[in-house]
Amino acid sequence: MIPLGIAIHGGAGTILRSHMTPELQAQYENALKEALNKGYSLLGQGGTAVDAVAAAVMVLEDFPLFNAGKGSVFNHIGKHEMDAAIMDGSDLSAGAVAGICGVRNPIALAKLVMQRSEHVMLFGKGAEDFALQQKLPVEEETYFFNEQRFQQWQEALAEDRVSLDHNDKKFGTVGAVALDASGNLAAATSTGGMTNKKFGRVGDSPIIGAGTYASNTSCAVSCTGHGELFIRTVMGHDISCLMEYKGLSLHEACDVLVHDKLVKIGGEGGLVAIDRHGNIAMPFNSEGMYRGFKNSDGKMQVAIYKE
């Protein structure tokens, strides 16, 4: 029998214990559990890995504390420009959107790009028009407003004025990977990108092969971290290639990328990944990563810091 499994993340980075209260930690953990339960229950009913990862990511997009959907950060001009991607490992079909505003659930739009358009990636106004045509819920700016994010943006703006080499580590993302009862793998990732981003900056999340990748021949991967570095390592696809062409295990391949290749170019972050045997890896080289998994061995775990 094929094992079922789902793993999710809510972003990696400098998650300071000093900023974490027991109440806040409980909120994060409850949101992670809700997303896991949502995705896993679909798998348990015979649903596809694609539907499971999309559903889990939508739960996290609706939760204001994660940087995706409702909780997306402010860009340089005070807007919420979001990116998302989804990939079906059974036939390598994929859908992605970049630089979109107003769409309540960017992952739902990415899924429709995959299933109802002849393209893989749509950006900006065109992608928003496609969302309207597909009758996806669209929200006013106020839906995405969050006082804490606003303050983060104000700080980033102020630092920009005084410091050109300002290193903004205020990122975050949500993502999911899953293995379904038919043995199919899927990955989904959604993000608001980096606080105060300019010039239409797009990170790794919507780039197939970088922040998001799935192939039934190897694994499904969803990344979080400093996107530019994940694009340069072609993270998701490289992990898949190490498994497919060199015979590395999921954990070995993830270790090479997250703890060696990424580190060598100064990259920080992590990922969740699952292979076709149901093995799950959740490596990160940052201080913490909101993460969790649930599988048909009856195991469920959520965590934030290093164990």
For the annotated catalytic residues, the residue numbers are 173
* Residues 210-242: b if buried by 16+ CB within 10 A, e if exposed: bbbbbbbebbbbbbbbbbbbbbebbbbbbbbbb
| Dist CA 256 CA 259 (whole Å) | 6
| Dist CA 252 CA 240 (whole Å) | 11
Q: With binding defined as CB under 6 A, does residue 66 bind ligand ASP? A: no
Closest CA to 13 of 181, 187, 227: 227
Q: With binding defined as CB under 6 A, does residue 11 bind ligand ASP? A: yes
Q: Output 195 or 295, the one with its CB closest to ligand ASP.
A: 195
| Dist CA 154 CA 222 (whole Å) | 29
Q: With binding defined as CB under 6 A, does residue 227 bind ligand ASP? A: yes
Closest CA to 87 of 249, 233, 182, 207: 207
Q: What character string, x for contact with ligand ASP (CB under 6 A) and - otherwise, covers 195-224?
A: --------xxx-----x------------x
Closest CA to 183 of 278, 56, 52, 85: 278
Q: Output 32 or 194, the one with its CB closest to ligand ASP.
A: 194
Q: Output 102 or 172, the one with its CB closest to ligand ASP.
A: 172
Choosing from 191, 216, 286, 295, the residue that interacts with ligand ASP (CB under 6 A) is: 191
Do the Cβ atoms of 304 and 290 come closer than 8 Å? yes
Closest CA to 188 of 108, 246, 128, 265: 108
Q: Output 146 or 205, the one with its CB closest to ligand ASP.
A: 205
Q: With binding defined as CB under 6 A, does residue 106 bind ligand ASP? A: no
Do the Cβ atoms of 38 and 63 come closer than 8 Å? no
Using CA atoms, how far residue 206 sits from 44, 187, 188, 191, 222, in Å, is 28, 11, 9, 9, 10
User: How near is the Cβ of 269 to ligand ASP at its closest, in Å?
Assistant: 6
Q: Output 89 or 225, the one with its CB closest to ligand ASP.
A: 225
Choosing from 105, 146, 173, 195, the residue that interacts with ligand ASP (CB under 6 A) is: 173
Binding to ligand ASP in span 37-56, by CB under 6 A: none
User: How near is the Cβ of 73 to ligand ASP at its closest, in Å?
Assistant: 9
Choosing from 39, 225, 283, 288, the residue that interacts with ligand ASP (CB under 6 A) is: 225
Kindly indicate which of the ranges 96-104, 155-163, 191-199, 297-305 contains the residues binding ligand ASP, using the contact rule CB under 6 A.
191-199
Q: Total residues at the site for ligand ASP (CB under 6 A)?
A: 14
Contact residues for ligand ASP, defined by CB under 6 A:
11, 171-173, 191, 193-194, 203-205, 211, 224-225, 227
